Homo-oligomer: A and B are copies of this chain.
Amino acid sequence: MLGVVMHAPGDVRVEEREDPKIQYPTDAVIRVAAACICGSDLWPYRGADDVHDAPMGHEYVGVVEEVGDEVRNVKPGDFVVGSFFASDNTCEICRAGYQSRCVHAEPMGALGTQAQRARVPLADGTLVATPGMPDADLVPSLLAASDVLGTGWFGAVAAEAGPGKTVAVVGDGAVGLHAVLAAKQLGAERIVIFSRHADRQRLAAEFGATDVIAERGDEGVAKLKDLTGGLGAHSVVEAVGTQESMMQAIRATRPGGHVGYVGVAHDVALPGGELFFSGVHLHGGPAPVRRFLPELIQLIWDRTIDPGKVFDRTLPLADAAEGYRAMDERRAIKVLLTV
């Protein structure tokens, strides 16, 4: 089969890879219908993470082709959505809603879903079947649920977005934009996006943002305080993962407020004294997307939300290298790969 391999930073190729097979009785093999390129794939692409000949991709939707003997919840022919971590969904950590830290968690990124087929471990716990075969126009949104929507949603939940709250979002990539969408669905009163890109500002407004702040860092924080009686936001979602964005998120939050951080932290060190006196709640990490999948699939199926709008470029799998380039150069917010 064909699949994407990153041989080194900047060196992405679509090439022949071995067809996945059932290895454990809890596995499924799916025929990928669509995959995509994640903001986090840009870390190794830009050399910030080590990478050598790695199969790429951890977001996926597709049709089940084959299941192992112990799989009960999905069957060949089902259209399924899964998270970027395989999880058993039965251990104590999963039951508490932290499936991305399941005691048996396996990162799908190691298997590589930017490919024609993929093996999904722990299929019963990992995959959620849609109510039927989706219309083609729903596929991008279902794919978004697999990671960026689920991650933005978790950021908003971790930040305790809700009625009466002012929610601010640091980061206007796909995850940040979906955090806006989530905050809106969760009933937030006011939603502020930090962004200086007109196309992203427009999409944020479509998703429910009420205010835009173009300034970054402490200047951005000062603008947000102007909007909130000097106090800061109740809830701030951090969706970048740098030192600057984390500090901006913490400083933008009022004492007792909540920071939900979902940007994969790179070279971040939080100063203990400032954090202590900030009095904020801090929660985040790799999103337990599986927790939210049934609800998100239903919202998409009912056409209540349209998260697939973040895909502003669609390419065939064979052109994945151009997809990486477009995202790296910010010519695209998020690239969908048809398979």
Binding site for B on A (CB under 8 A): 92-93, 96-98, 100-101, 103, 229-231, 241, 243, 246, 254-256, 261, 264-273, 275-286, 288
Q: Smallest CB–CB gap between A48 and chain B, Å?
A: 12
Q: Smallest CB–CB gap between A12 and chain B, Å?
A: 24
A93-B231 contact in complex given A261-B276, A265-B276, A272-B270, C-beta closer than 8 Å: yes
Instruction: Output the nearest chain B residue to A234 by Cβ-Cβ distance.
Output: B96
A279-B92 contact in complex given A267-B272, A272-B265, A272-B267, C-beta closer than 8 Å: no
Consensus secondary structure, chain A interface: mixed
Interchain CB contact (< 8 A) of A284 among B229, B230, B261, B276: B276
* New A-B pairs, 14, CB < 8 Å, besides A93-B254, A103-B231, A280-B285: A93-B256, A96-B256, A101-B256, A101-B279, A103-B230, A243-B272, A264-B276, A265-B276, A267-B272, A269-B270, A270-B272, A275-B282, A279-B285, A281-B281
What is the CA–CA distance of A100 and B152 in the complex, to the nearest angstrom? 31
Interchain CB contact (< 8 A) of A98 among B101, B256, B270, B276: B256
In the complex the two chains form, is A281's CB within 8 Å of B279's CB?
no
Cβ contacts under 8 Å, A273 to chain B: 265-266, 268
Q: Which 4 A-B pairs have the closest CB atoms?
A: A268-B272, A265-B272, A101-B255, A98-B256
What is the CA–CA distance of A124 and B93 in the complex, to the nearest angstrom? 45
Interchain CB contact (< 8 A) of A92 among B98, B229, B278: B229
Cβ contacts under 8 Å, A231 to chain B: 92-93, 103
A275-B270 contact in complex given A255-B98, A255-B101, A256-B97, C-beta closer than 8 Å: yes
Cβ contacts under 8 Å, A281 to chain B: 281-283
In the complex the two chains form, is A279's CB within 8 Å of B286's CB?
yes
In the complex the two chains form, is B270's CB within 8 Å of A277's CB?
no
Instruction: Output the nearest chain B residue to A92 by Cβ-Cβ distance.
Output: B231
Cβ contacts under 8 Å, A280 to chain B: 283, 285
In the complex the two chains form, is B266's CB within 8 Å of A269's CB?
no
A275-B265 contact in complex given A93-B255, A229-B92, C-beta closer than 8 Å: yes
Cβ contacts under 8 Å, A97 to chain B: 256
Interchain CB contact (< 8 A) of A271 among B269, B279, B285: B269
Cβ contacts under 8 Å, A270 to chain B: 269-270, 272, 275
Most central of A266, A285, A288 by chain B CB within 10 Å: A285
Instruction: Output the nearest chain B residue to A271 by Cβ-Cβ distance.
Output: B269
What is the CA–CA distance of A175 and B97 in the complex, to the nearest angstrom? 31
